Amino acid sequence: MANVEQIFKKYDVNRDGHMSTAELEAALKELKVVPTKGLIEVLMKQYDVDGNGQLDLQEFTRLVGDLKHFGSADPQELLETFRKIDKDGSGFISPEELKTGLKHFFGDEPVTDEIVQWVIDGADKNADGRIDIAEFAQYIHVLEK
């Protein structure tokens, strides 16, 4: 695969240093990702850090880096699930958010701090005490096996 900067420059057709949703759609095709409208919306919500409705090179680089961790998971479904758990929209799942998110899966069973810590210990590869989208994707991929 071409490097990220080359892909960015190739699809930033108006050369403004930003990738619009239409430009992102074309770039995703080259990256072998099916660019549905829903996926593009959720990618913009997750990666458009400055909120200008476009991706700059740094934001696009982060997106491409994270996509490498998604494996066979549906990117749209994975990102939507992540965003549901990441209630504050920080781009990270905190232990508190994880505990709330796990309650959905545990039903009436209590979600203890030990369970939350067990998940964090398994998913948090950089040991910062929270789970980013790449860590989340890798953890979900491991669970699917």
Show the domain range for 44: 4-67
- Per-residue pLDDT, 145: 56
- Per-residue pLDDT, 141: 72
Task: Dump pLDDT digits (tens) for 67-125.
Answer: 888 877 888 888 999 999 999 989 899 999 999 999 887 788 889 999 999 999 999 99
Same domain, 49 and 17: yes
Same domain, 86 and 131: yes
- Per-residue pLDDT, 104: 81
- End position of a domain, from candidates 26, 43, 67: 67
- End position of a domain, from candidates 29, 50, 67: 67
Which token pair is 126?
């950089």
- Has residue 143 got a pLDDT over 70? no
- Per-residue pLDDT, 1: 44
Please tell me the distance from the alpha carbon of residue 8 to that of residue 66, in angstroms, as a whole number.
Answer: 15
- Has residue 139 got a pLDDT over 60? yes
92 three-state secondary structure? strand
- Per-residue pLDDT, 74: 85
Please tell me the distance from the alpha carbon of residue 105 to that of residue 68, in angstroms, as a whole number.
Answer: 26
Q: How many helices (H) and strands (E) does the chain have?
A: 8, 2
Same domain, 59 and 80: no
Same domain, 94 and 61: no
Using a CB cutoff of 8 Å and minimum separation of 24, what contacts does 100-108 make?
none
CATH number for position 54: 1.10.238.10
The pTM score is: 0.75
Closest CA relative to residue 69, chosen from 26, 94, 102, 33: 33
Task: Dump pLDDT digits (tens) for 2-46.
Answer: 599 999 999 999 999 999 999 999 999 998 888 888 889 989 988
To the nearest 10 degrees (0 to 180), the angle between helices 133-144 and 75-85 is 120
Please tell me the distance from the alpha carbon of residue 68 to that of residue 64, in angstroms, as a whole number.
Answer: 7
Same domain, 30 and 13: yes
Dump the DSSP string for 32-84: T----HHHHHHHHHHH-TT-SSSB-HHHHHHHHHHHTT-TTS-HHHHHHHHHH
- Has residue 51 got a pLDDT over 90? yes
Question: What is the band of 144 on the pLDDT scale with cuts at 50, 70, 90?
Answer: low
- End position of a domain, from candidates 67, 95, 117: 67
Looking from the CA of 125 toward its CB, the CA atoms found within 13 Å total 9
